[in-house]
A and B are shown apart, each in its own frame.
Chain A
Amino acid sequence: MDFNFTEDEQMIIDAVHEIGQEEFEPRASEVAELGEFPWENIEILREMDLFGIPVPEEYGGLEMGFLLWGVVGELLSRYCSTTGSVFGAHMLCQYPIMAFGTDEQKDKYLRPLTSGEHIGAFGLTEPNAGSDAGSVATKAELRGDKYILNGTKIFISNGGVAETYVVIANLDPSKGTRGLTAFIVEKGMPGFEFGKNEKKMGWDALPNRELIFQDCEVPVENVLYKPGRGFRVAMDTLGVGRLGMAVGAVGLAQAAFDAAIVYAQQREQFGQKISEFQAIQFKLADMATEIEISRLMYQKAAWLKDQGESFEKEAAMAKLYSSEMVSRVTSDAVQIHGGVGYTREFPVERYMREAKLFEIVEGTSEIQRGIIANRLLREYRI
């Protein structure tokens, strides 16, 4: 076991720290407040080649694995949570093409996603298919050399700004998960439109749009993996997605902790810094400890993934624990700030609003517990 990063990895991590502090952090609150997609930050990630960390060099990536991808994602979320989420949602499109795509599909779609020329999104959720992904009702029908898609996806992160979409549709809803099929859909394909952008509790700068398919024609060569095997594509993608959620939660929690430990040493009450009260000290100690646990959990899961080993259970555990952790930590950060923490003058109230999302997306906490228990009961079957 080796906790050291290589010299190259450390150089990248240092570069992300620097750019995060110089460019992202100073604008993060403004980005969230204005609710405008952070194109400037995305441009910087592009320039720095950061969209290709785990992607093979053959397709323009750095081929440096998911552990480094996670560490970079954590830093992005720490310095600008919106940017971190865009980075994470992008992978939900990039990963399935990287893992399941044909050489032609990778050439056409993975390359621009890796250079960052194109942004990606992943469309699974529908009004009647959230936790229950098998209920996807968006229909795909083979007609000649095209599939015709009809249906609506909701909540899709990066929706509208993305050029490339991995969309899960059903060839035969009566077959449930065995009818699911993954398609690569391009923005601008006839019959593909965007619907409403959700107004949310937080994350105003992250688009969550409806994807509307009305007789949308998708060429057969855009089927990802095999017809009828879309559930496998979706589940593998969500495995990496959970890793991404854990990473984002740790980054956001770290940002809340950073703010809290500074404020605690500035604010005086009863003639002393509040950081001198044991009640505050214990909060800070618990926050930092929980963040560290969560960080080790996502790093272990990412490391397993990089070793080519099964990592789904560990990713689900990391996602479950860190998503609940970030709600506690951000809430404590508000508590340490007192009244000002509840105002929009300080970023911690935003962190608290943003934190809640982690317990819901990419499988709710309840669903994660189900996944983990399933695995455990299989492992320990008597």
Chain B
Amino acid sequence: MNIIVCIKQVPDTSEVSIDPETNTIVREGVPAIINPFDENAIEQAVQMVEEHGGKVTVLSMGPPQAEAALREALAMGADEAILVSDRCFAASDTLATSYVLSTAIREIGDYDLIFCGKQAFDGDTAQVPPGIAEHLGIPQVTFAIGIEVDGRKVRVRRLLEDEFETVEVKMPALISVVKQINEPRRPGIKAKLAAKKKEVKVWDASCIDADACLCGFDGSPTRVVRTFAPSRNTEGKKYEGEPKEVATAVVEALIAEKII
């Protein structure tokens, strides 16, 4: 069974702060890590390949520094690593990102499953995994907390807000995982030293036949009007009196605020 795991390098959120002037994330000097959910995706893939045979390929789109994240994944037990990196990918939104990743996956070719994290800690949209599946025309199952292989079928238990759902799909399929699915291993020193010696392939746009119009800024319909840290409104208003009168007052206030 061949599994491709898409991983994103993100700033270590535990060490991130927001610049109060510009409301943007202060990235300088912040260490980069593998998006935590992607560690679960790697762990899941490595465990399943240990059980069923095959190989794990980790794939990331990002700047050259993202190689460090891929090496960490190799230390965790992935067999091969590919970095797709090209200036023309810069400023890709989730649509363009999933397009680029899907063309890279086509180039890799032989796969049974694609694993992603539930969402990225920084971008946080959870749109890339479904985007990849749509571009490839394969089924997708998001928020997996359990994965069971049965021949060419996989049974996936999904973690929903207040319930579980089990769905069955045929391979090839894309699955995004939640952190409760497993406990990612801590790679040992030996594995880290070995990972340093392994090859991380670097592919640019031409290697994966990516259509420049669908990558980067040109391929990104999302327009960021403004980003801001939501202001914390701690001030509440208290209505007192007879329930009927209070209810009326609240509804009127909500209508006045155009909330309802």
Contacts and interface: CB of A to CB of B under 8 A. Distances in A.
Contacts of B191: 49
Interface stretch (B118-126, B137-145, B157-165, B182-190): B182-190
Interface residues of B, number: 9
Contact of B186 (A8, A12, A44, A62): A44
A62 B196 CA distance: 15
A49 B196 CA distance: 16
A8 B193 contact: yes
B192 interface: yes
B163 to A, nearest CB: 34
A50 B186 contact: no
Interface in A50-64: 50, 62
Interface in A216-262: none
Indicate the size class of the contact surface on chain A.
10 to 19
Interface string A1-40: 0000000100110010001000000000000000000000
Contacts, number: 24
A143 to B, nearest CB: 43
B185 A47 contact: yes
A293 interface: no
A280 interface: no
A48 interface: yes
Contacts of B189: 11-12, 15, 48-50, 62
A47 B192 contact: no
B179 to A, nearest CB: 17
B188 A47 contact: yes
A62 B193 CA distance: 10
Interface string B224-251: 0000000000000000000000000000
Contacts of A50: 189
B186 A11 contact: no
A42 to B, nearest CB: 14
B39 to A, nearest CB: 15
Contacts of B190: 49, 62
Nearest to B185: A47
Contacts of B186: 19, 44, 47-48
A11 B192 contact: yes
B114 to A, nearest CB: 28
Nearest to B188: A49
Contacts of B196: 8
A346 B191 CA distance: 38
Contacts of B185: 47
Interface in A251-302: none
A250 B192 CA distance: 28
Closest A-B pairs by Cβ, 3 of them: A49-B188, A49-B189, A49-B190
Given A11-B189, A11-B192, 16 more contacts: A8-B193, A8-B196, A12-B189, A15-B192, A19-B186, A44-B186, A47-B186, A47-B188, A48-B188, A48-B189, A49-B188, A49-B189, A49-B191, A62-B189, A62-B190, A62-B193
